[in-house]
């Protein structure tokens, strides 16, 4: 959690099932929460880190 930064692409999983996939908007390690811009519509979702596993995804190179 402390290594996450705004702009990181993450998958939020619970019991090996992806619940959210998006871009980190805000990280608050002191409260153990983060906001993720989730899905194709980039809905802002509050995630309680203690309830999930968080996987940082590699950034993919964009085609020109």
What pLDDT does 63 receive? Answer: 44
pLDDT in the model for residue 43: 85
Global pTM value = 0.79
The segments of the chain whose pLDDT lies below 50 read: 61-64
Q: What share of the chain is helix, strand, coil (3-state, %, to 5)?
A: 5, 55, 40
pLDDT (0 to 100) of residue 48: 93
Q: How far is CA 9 from the centre of its chain?
A: 6
- Amino acid 64: pLDDT: 42
């Amino acid at each position: 959690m402390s290594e996450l930064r705004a702009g990181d692409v993450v998958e939020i999983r619970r019991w090996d099932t992806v619940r959210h996939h998006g871009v980190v908007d805000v990280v608050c390690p002191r409260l153990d929460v983060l906001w993720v811009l989730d899905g194709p519509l980039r809905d802002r979702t509050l995630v309680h880190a203690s309830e999930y596993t968080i996987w940082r995804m590699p950034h993919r190179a964009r085609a020109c």
